[in-house]
Amino acid sequence: MSKLSFRARALDATKPLPVFRCEDLPDLHEYASINRAVPQMPTGMEKEEESEHHLQRAISAQQVYGEKRDNMVIPVPEAESNITYYESLYPGDYKMPKQLIHLQPFSLDTEQPDYDLDSDDDVFVAKLKKKMEISLLQFEEMIDRLEKGSGQQLVSLPEAKLLLKEDDELIKEVFDYWSRKRKNSKAHSLINIIKQEKRDGSSTSDPYVAFRRRTEKMQTRKNRKNDEASYEKMLKLRRDLSRAVTILEMIKRREKSKRELLHLTLEIFEKRNVMSDYGGEVLAEVLAERALVRPQIIPLVPLTNQYHMDHKDYKSKVSSEKTEVPRQKRKYEKKQKALPLSISAAHHQGPAVFNAKDLNQYDFPSSDEEPQVLGSSEAEEENDPDGAYAFRRKAGCQYYAAHQDRVGAWPWSPGWEGGLAHSRYCYSLTTLTVPRRCQGLARRRLGRGGRVLLDRAHSDYDNVFHELDPKTLDCATKTLDCAPPPSGSCSPAASKFASTSPINTSDRSSSSPPSDLSQILLSIKACRWRHFRPRTLPLHQLDNAHPLFRRLSRSIKRPLTNIGPSAQPLTAEQFQQHQDQLVQMQKEQLEQQQQLQANRATTVSANTLDQASAQFAASALVTTEQILALKTKEELSLGGGVNGILTPSGVYKGLHLSSTASPSLAAPAPPATLSSAASLHPGSATNATPPCSTNSNNGTAHHAGPTTTNATQVPLGNSLRLAVPAGKRVHAPRTLSSAMSASALKLAHAAAAANCQKPKVPSSTAASPLDIVPR
């Protein structure tokens, strides 16, 4: 037969299997040989156990006899079931409840002691009972507390007395007994507990440690959604809890205020008593007086955008309030109910006015419920246009009101408007060299590495400006040589532009605008409008400026025209020039208090300073330092008004470099080190530990640290950083402005030269060591 000629198919679980009785298939045994297709299933037992004698015997017995025979079962250790005292041990009166038993939550939490009294205890308690009153349960409870009160160290007697509420004598007896028993016991505890896992992980393989906590999460993958949901819930919970904290804090403030009110009331009463104002005449008089003065509500926690308040006003209000307080009290005392809330609110020192921000100060943004914190909700936008940038008070900071009289006194505003900037840094018409055309209004600003940045401002006449041809302008200058001399101040329009910040695009229409090109040209000619053009500026326009300024204009164009730094060696002549500049700069500082720019070319070529020039530079610095000190005093006294309020950080702050030089171990520099030293790190050449560089870049730091503020700005080779150790370490943001004081730069070069014994430092190395300056 061809029984074996075809292979049996694999068993298909989805295929119906006909069920036969064996007697219906007499020829079945003939097919028995091809039964192999069904794979043998594993038993699920451990291999080695599967072969155990008794199991194998039982299995074979089962297969032979169809069922287990008694002597073929797997033997197990015997169990006894005739405990004689069982009947007495457990009460036999339990009635089965009709309903299925449903366990009530917390029904298991009985306040029973875990400790169970043993026979020794029994003897002891029996003995003790003769002396004093104690029940078994009471004893158990005491031991239970002592045990649970003891950790690694046993409870001491005084502690036990605190722990137990029984009288001292009993406590002492039980305590003594307990400590004796505990000492004799080998176990950790008289309440036998399963060994706990140790935190250090040493118990991972201790067989007696059981029921360890599952530290890791199980299958985070499977339940990722769920995890997210619970995370959200946690966030919500946290926020809710923080709200509760806020509310509690507010309650605390309220209660404090109440207490204060009480004290003040008492004081008034005493005062009246002293004044013998029993009839209340004085009080009435005061009240009448009081009625004339409207109480002023001063929100001590002002709303976010409402803190613009005149400084003097504020003071007067505070003082007036102070004087009013007692009188108010009296009123309060008399007409408690009728008093408007605002009055009581006013004299409460605790703030009566809360705003949403205050309430939210403990809140954390969660994705679902508080979009307004993220500043995305429109409603919030209306209330708080600043959104995430809204001003927030800092704890411990004192804030002053804005100076009303110095509106527009932006740092980039010219002097006549109260600003600090020289007129050439104000917005002016600007013409670039490379796309040779007028760019419209722009102001110059020093960026990193001495780059000159142009902040462009939009104006309604931009298209007019763009049409301005520099050439026509040039010739116009020639032809209109006899134009009237520049008036003392710019035209209103120009000044308007000058004060135009990129954000502030307000009422431009009010001024009389130049309507056409020729008019603008004329204005330029007349120097009513400033017009900036790099390089091509005719010299005569700057004639009245000092030589440094000329140089400046030359240096400014360089980054724009992409000419690489020149690395020519410095000649004696140039050095002399440089010296002159330094002197000039100092003068500038004293006179004008404005930012100066040093010649970048000089900076780079200064690499080749020899020892002598280094010496000179260092000595020059000494004088600069003195000047600086002078200036600093001046500025500190002057800056008081500006200091407190945060000026928009950015350009202005970035231009300031606080540089207090103090002796540095690292730089064995020439004489300058006596008073000050700064070390420069040219590339990897020096491994001197650089002093911490500080650059206070924000208002608070300014205020906190008595760092001298130096207005002199020097553009420095690409990314040279000067490390300037300050007397007080102000941890400054990482962004060190690349500008630095000229003196410091000089010194740095000197130090570098002296330090490295290198006559020449390649400009490339000097220009790149950004990385080595520690931050």
| CB of 165 or CB of 212, closer to other proteins | 212
How far apart CA 633 and CA 662 sit, in angstroms, is: 18
Count CB-CB contacts under 10 A for residue 333: 16
How far apart CA 526 and CA 483 sit, in angstroms, is: 6
CB of 222 to other proteins, least distance (A): 7
| CB of 15 or CB of 392, closer to other proteins | 15
CA distances in angstroms from 274 to 290, 325, 732, listed in the order given:
21, 19, 58
Q: How many CA atoms lie within 13 A of 70 on its CB side?
A: 0
The DSSP 8-state label assigned to residue 735 in this structure reads -
Q: What are phi and psi of 67, to 5 degrees?
A: -150, 170
**Burial class of residue 72, CB neighbours in 10 A (0-12, 13-18, 19+):** middle
Strands 428-431 and 438-446: antiparallel
| CB of 54 or CB of 458, closer to other proteins | 54
CB of 13 to other proteins, least distance (A): 4
**What are the tokens at 213?**
């906590």
List alpha helices for 152-198, DSSP H.
Answer: 157-163, 168-184
Cβ(561)–Cβ(535) under 8 Å?
yes
| CB of 22 or CB of 379, closer to other proteins | 22
Q: Cα-atom radius of gyration of the chain, to the nearest Å? A: 45
CB of 126 to other proteins, least distance (A): 13
The secondary structure element, H or E, covering residue 446 is strand 438-446
CB of 88 to other proteins, least distance (A): 9
Count CB-CB contacts under 10 A for residue 531: 22
Cβ(606)–Cβ(570) under 8 Å?
yes
CB of 375 to other proteins, least distance (A): 33
| CB of 42 or CB of 485, closer to other proteins | 42
**Burial class of residue 197, CB neighbours in 10 A (0-12, 13-18, 19+):** middle
CB of 181 to other proteins, least distance (A): 13
CB of 223 to other proteins, least distance (A): 6
Counting every residue, how long is the chain? 775
Cβ(431)–Cβ(446) under 8 Å?
no
| CB of 108 or CB of 539, closer to other proteins | 108
How far apart CA 467 and CA 486 sit, in angstroms, is: 24
CB of 190 to other proteins, least distance (A): 10
| CB of 111 or CB of 507, closer to other proteins | 111
In 26-50, which positions are buried (b, 16+ CB within 10 angstroms) versus exposed (e)? Answer: eeeeeeeeeeeeeeeeeeeeeeeee
CB of 178 to other proteins, least distance (A): 16
Q: Residue type for 437, please? A: R
| CB of 226 or CB of 506, closer to other proteins | 226
CB of 135 to other proteins, least distance (A): 11
| CB of 224 or CB of 312, closer to other proteins | 224
| CB of 17 or CB of 291, closer to other proteins | 17
